[in-house]
A and B are shown apart, each in its own frame.
Chain A
Amino acid sequence: MAFDVLFNQFMSGIARAAILFLVASGLSLTFGVLRVLNFAHGSLYMLGAFLTYSIWKFLLIPSLGFYLALILASLIMGAIGLLIEWLLLRRIYSRGWPEQLLATYAIILLITDLVKWGWGGEFLSIPRPEPFTGAVSMFGFPFPSYNFFIILLGLGLVFFLWWLVYRTRLGDIIRAAATDREMVSALGIPIPWLFTWIFVLGALIAGMSGAVAAPFGAIRLGMDVEIIIECFAVVVIGGMGSLPGTLLGSFIIGEVYSFGIMYKPELALAFIFIVMAIVLIIRPWGFFGRPER
């Protein structure tokens, strides 16, 4: 196969990996600190996309409107995350993980029907914002320039999270809490406070990823379920709660999907689960994770 075709496929894989990283990093961050696998993370992403659509439509500013909507939708999702943590999650940290999983599953059901009720069932879309409307030619193939925006944002988030986790005091606390929660608490750091803000940050990132994905594909019901399962694959491969792991996982899943589509389009998603199953069997805690117990 010609190099230019492969390169083009590789680049679309990178764009997909960037979206996956945006969503999965929030999931991984919450799991790393709270030890709660947030099933509803994809639903926060979906709600973010729908909110972006409505705000963009309400603002009616041609070029700037999308970016404004992106910021507003992210902030609103952060607030919704605060509400969810405050009303529900905080009350079940002491319970077993199956109940925590079920509680976040219940949130999926709530958000699905809220979206159905608020926006109806039809597909919505937002045009790509300036200056990312066109396509760039790469080895003769048109490559949507909006993909560069996604990749840039993904890289930006990588650096932001890296700075947050490895270069700030909050990051020290985050890493300490992921290792030994009781010890952190004994040192006088209010764990509930930490949990709340980590969950809010996760929800904010989920909302932002939804906003970014809005002009990328159709905004529709069901986008939550699609992305969350792929994100599970990402965090499982990389190791749950690990930032470099999430980056590697996103890259692998993005590329597997992209080349899978080229090889056998109808089985592209099946390939993802095969890769995930293989990693889980050989190394259940993923490439960068730690074995439990």
Chain B
Amino acid sequence: MKSNPKKNKTSLKKYWWVALLLAAAVAAPFFISEFYLTIFGEALIMSLLALSFNLLFGYMGQLSFGQAAFYGISGYTVAMLITKAHFNFWLSLGAGVVVAAALGLIIGFFCVRLRGIYFSILTLAFAQLIYFVIYKWHDFTGGDDGIQGVYPPDFLNSSIHYYFFILIVFILATFILWRIVNSPFGYTLKSMRENSERTEFLGISIAKYQLTAFVIAAAYAGLAGALWAPFYRSMAPSALFWLKSAEPVNAAILGGPSLFFGPIFGMFIMTFFHAWVLAYTVFWAFIMGILILIVIFLLPGGMLGFVQEKIKERRENRNPTTGIN
């Protein structure tokens, strides 16, 4: 990773575990079975969706219940361009992200005027609207049959190659988002979460900033969808259903929405847990429900938030003189 010259050594040292995880992700294909490699790839793609959600929720304080719309519309764009128009693979992926961002601009224009639960419901309404259009427009989208045969180019066809492709895109996208949330723009979003009135008094146009964040989030959800279609070789309307929108919400809450890496952590737990539980029981939803309740009641800051808290406590116990951060 490129180092920021303004930051001193200790702040980079803090992220040694990121390097460790990256090394593990690169080494993973040589140690784990093909089945778990697929799950790993899925978790990486879905983490992008979770990051997209958390840019709005964790940083801006708006809970979107419609991220699946951008994810799905991009996946469909890619799938249809590749299977029907025989478009270039890279251009198709780009087109998917652009379409998602454009949709984000339209939907966001209306949504960013609302706050709290009304924002959630309006994003949900728009997402369901797009879901129904795709689901019912059988001649164009294939309706509930979906679209099959979305193949990546030959050199990405093997699961290991596509896995590395996902990994590279994931690292780049995550790094860019990390820079975005730690830029003045990111801090402005946070200040709106804390006190939107005060932020407005500073002369900042809330609607403009929120719309920008909404479009970025839509593009990230679109990126996840664009990676997903050739990964799964198909697209189905369920990718736009509101239960899909609930997945990043769950991931963020499970992992910890106040931390940048929280949603990624939550999504990895969810995806692997899902694959593992399904081997034993079909009642995945029940277990997921219990898991959400446990986190809400016992670990209010999310799992990663809990871990961070514990580490902080231990550090403070070790050298109590540096109690003030």
Contacts and interface: CB of A to CB of B under 8 A. Distances in A.
B286 A273 contact: no
A80 to B, nearest CB: 15
B249 A102 contact: yes
B168 interface: no
A122 interface: no
A269 B128 CA distance: 9
Interface stretch (B6-14, B93-101, B291-299): B291-299
Contact of A284 (B118, B246, B286): B118
Interface in B100-137: 110, 113-118, 120-122, 124-126, 128-129, 132-133, 136
Contacts of B118: 236, 280, 284-285, 292
A60 B124 CA distance: 42
Contacts of B280: none
A229 interface: yes
A35 to B, nearest CB: 9
Contacts of A233: 125
B202 interface: no
A225 B243 CA distance: 9
A60 B243 CA distance: 38
Contact of A236 (B115, B121, B136, B286): B121
Nearest to B282: A116
B132 A270 contact: yes
Interface in A101-153: 101-103, 105-110, 112-114, 116-117
Nearest to A266: B136
B296 A103 contact: yes
A276 interface: yes
A99 B132 contact: no
Interface string B268-302: 00000000000000111110111011001100100
B47 interface: no
B129 A277 contact: yes
B63 interface: yes
Contacts of B116: 97, 292
A20 B198 CA distance: 41
A84 to B, nearest CB: 11
A27 B87 CA distance: 48
Interface string A269-289: 110011011001100110000
Interface string B131-165: 01100100000000000000000000000000000
A59 interface: no
B114 A280 contact: yes
B298 to A, nearest CB: 11
Contact of B289 (A110, A276, A284): A110
Contact of B296 (A37, A106, A232, A281): A106
A88 interface: yes
Interface in B227-277: 242-243, 246, 249-250, 253
A280 B110 CA distance: 9
A277 B136 contact: no
B114 A284 contact: yes
A56 B290 CA distance: 31
Contacts of B133: 267, 270
A61 interface: no
Contacts of B57: 98
Contacts of B122: 277, 280-281, 284
Contacts of A71: none
A113 B285 CA distance: 6
Contacts of B300: 95, 99
Contacts of B242: 225, 229
Given A107-B289, A229-B242, A273 B296 contact: no
A92 interface: yes
B21 to A, nearest CB: 27
A169 interface: no
Q: In this complex, which of B110, B133, B253, B289 has the most chain A Cβ atoms within 10 angstroms of its Cβ? A: B289
Interface of A: 37, 88, 91-92, 95, 97-99, 101-103, 105-110, 112-114, 116-117, 225, 229, 232-233, 236, 266-267, 269-270, 273-274, 276-277, 280-281, 284-285, 292
Given A276-B125, A280-B118, A284-B122, 10 more contacts: A37-B117, A91-B297, A97-B116, A113-B289, A114-B286, A233-B125, A236-B125, A267-B132, A269-B128, A274-B129
Q: A-B pairs with the 5 shortest C-beta distances?
A: A109-B289, A113-B286, A266-B136, A273-B129, A106-B292
